[in-house]
Amino acid sequence: MQYQPTQRTTVRRLKKRAVYDKAAVHAILDEGFICHVGFVVESQPYVIPTIYARRDETLYFHGAVASRTLKTLATGVDVCLTVTLMDGMVLARSAFHHSMNYRSVVVLGNARPVQDPEERLLALELITDHAVPGRWDEVRGPNELELKQTSVLALPLKEVSAKVRSGPPVDDDEDYSLPIWAGVVPMETHVTKPLDDGRVLPGVAPPNLARFKRFVKRAD
Amino acid sequence: MQYQPTQRTTVRRLKKRAVYDKAAVHAILDEGFICHVGFVVESQPYVIPTIYARRDETLYFHGAVASRTLKTLATGVDVCLTVTLMDGMVLARSAFHHSMNYRSVVVLGNARPVQDPEERLLALELITDHAVPGRWDEVRGPNELELKQTSVLALPLKEVSAKVRSGPPVDDDEDYSLPIWAGVVPMETHVTKPLDDGRVLPGVAPPNLARFKRFVKRAD
């Protein structure tokens, strides 16, 4: 299954990096942690980082009802939501052929305020568990006042494209004779030892880092 | 020295997280690796990741002359450039008080195409060395054709704000009696063992990871 490229999501430069396959896009979105949401106010674009979660063909994100960003987004303005995973630095023999290994997804569309109480709660659970798997079931859930202060938005995955670069650098033929190291320096994001807040009750264990699968150290 | 907040860069929500201090903003930009650039085409915002570098009160970024993004940005349209560093997940006893420790910078303004040959070369050097410190002096520099294919843009640091959250979660008083772990799970980005491209000449050593200071493992 593929996302249908539109005039706006057709990758023009480096077409071979374009990905429209739904499963591949979902995998990037599910591995990602934060997104950058772009929207326009009085012709000025703003780009704001936030966390999110995916369910099928919907992305959810949230924020304070009082926030300017959420207020603007809730009116259904045009948005662009971008998720970028950095996989490594690509070091070529020439400055020009340096590059990055990355996987990015760009979603265009209009967000919808989630009003249905059940869908709102589900979205908050998904967002919480996307960041910290299993967390929702451990914590004190939101009360009515907290829910009233929270804006939940849904963005459909309709107009979507991804771009992926992987593998070694590609140098000009004549540069391979140069005594310059070339290859990839991989990048990884890790979680490290949890720091409690000093008020945790006796006998309550910290989260096992194995829960953060995508952030756990691979063999270096 | 402070950036003067404008109507557009005045942080309204969680004002205590706002930072306008120039040295603090510079430190975030210098530690950052990629930025997300937002711009508008026919009322649709786009958010694209790219690398960048800072020199004094100017950010430089670059791309292919042929790219739609660079072509648009070179016309001096309104842009928003955002750099986000993720420092940790903040796990509270209630779902509502979960948060992130982060440092982000938002720059509003208009990019200027860099035409002066000397400034162009300097900008490319800065961008290369921002990603891989010391790399510029090791590699085969750009030739005329490569320079012709490269668009270099400069964005002044004039309308700038940063937001920073750090430290433990803040729970509601009555929730501290709950047997729920609360604290911070730190996040770090690391570089791992370089992988050569299989065509490196004998005796040419890989880059020492100590060069990537911001990505080298701290004590876990």
Q: Residue A126 — pLDDT band, cuts 50, 70, 90?
A: very high
Which tokens go with B140? 């085969």
- CATH architecture for the domain at A15-215: Roll (2.30)
Give me the count of residues in chain A: 220
The mean pLDDT value for A15-35 works out to: 94
Give me the count of residues in chain B: 220
Confidence (pTM) = 0.96
**Model pLDDT, residue A24:** 97
A117 touches chain B (CB under 8 A): no
A138 touches chain B (CB under 8 A): yes
ipTM of the complex, rounded to two decimals: 0.95
CA dihedral A18, A21, A26, A31 (to 10 degrees): -40
- Residue to test with chain A: of B139, B166, B170, B188, most A Cβ within 10 A: B139
- CATH architecture for the domain at B15-89+99-168: Roll (2.30)
Under-70 pLDDT residues of chain B: 217-220
**Model pLDDT, residue A48:** 96
Mean residue pLDDT of chain A comes to 94
B43 touches chain A (CB under 8 A): yes
Identify residue B77 by its one-letter amino acid code.
V
Nearest to B200 among A183, A200, A201 (CB): A183
**Model pLDDT, residue A218:** 55
**Model pLDDT, residue A10:** 87
Coil, strand or helix at B8: coil
Q: What is the pLDDT of residues B30-69, one digit of tens each?
A: 999 999 999 999 999 999 999 999 999 999 999 999 888 9
Q: Indicate whether A13 pLDDT > 90.
A: no
Q: Residue A209 — pLDDT band, cuts 50, 70, 90?
A: confident
Secondary element (H or E) of residue A73: helix A68-74
A33 and B86 within 8 Å at the Cβ level: the answer is yes
Q: How many Cβ atoms are within 10 Å of B45's Cβ, its own excluded?
A: 22
The mean pLDDT value for A159-186 works out to: 97
Residue extents of the structural domains in chain A: 15-215
